[in-house]
Amino acid sequence: MATYNTSEFRKGIKVQLDGEPYLMIECNFVKPGKGQALYKCRLKNLIRNTVLDRTYKSGDSIEAADVEEIQTQFLYRQGDQFVFMDNSSYEQYELSQDQVDEAWKYLKESMVCAMVLFNGQPISVAPPNHVVLRVEYCEPGARGNTATNVTKPCKVETGAEMSVPAFVEIGDLIKVDTRTGEYIERVKE
């Protein structure tokens, strides 16, 4: 099994601790006045989304996680199950509501997503960074209310609710940043 030495520690590597995959989200090098250099790391569990802090001495190593990222296509939602298909092998994967997490708000049929597999099993999915969604319902904007940063809630075609500027109307296409959930712009058809 491959390992990472402390000299290879950096943000973004995927490691395995106690049989579970973790993503290194922060790594700080600390050199005290005397003694060995230390690496203070924050690790996010890719299955449970919990975060833990660990400190390693220089010369330590961690096992690399057996994770792979593949391109999949979102097929459909069936109750609390989301069905995806691998674009190269045509194998289908079912993910639960917990595994999909907040990504369900942006999933449209036949959308290409990045899926993370651990030991061949799906653990998470990420939609593209920007998606275009149709507004299904929103309150009409108050006439004359043109002050900057006036927002109102709206419901989009996926069933998700988000804040949009007051000028957005039912039937409009809006571009949304899936990492933050924020409105970017209105899109012309």
- Which domains, and CATH codes, for the chain? 3-64 (2.30.30.30), 67-126 (2.40.50.140), 130-187 (2.40.50.140)
What tens digit of pLDDT does each residue of 132-154 get?
A: 989 898 887 666 655 667 788 89
Residues 35-59 pLDDT 10s: 888 989 999 888 877 899 999 988 8
Report CA Rg, the chain. Answer: 21
φ, ψ for residue 171, nearest 5 deg: 95, -15
Tell me the mean pLDDT in the region 67-75. 90
Residue from 57, 66, 60, 43 nearest 5 by CA: 60
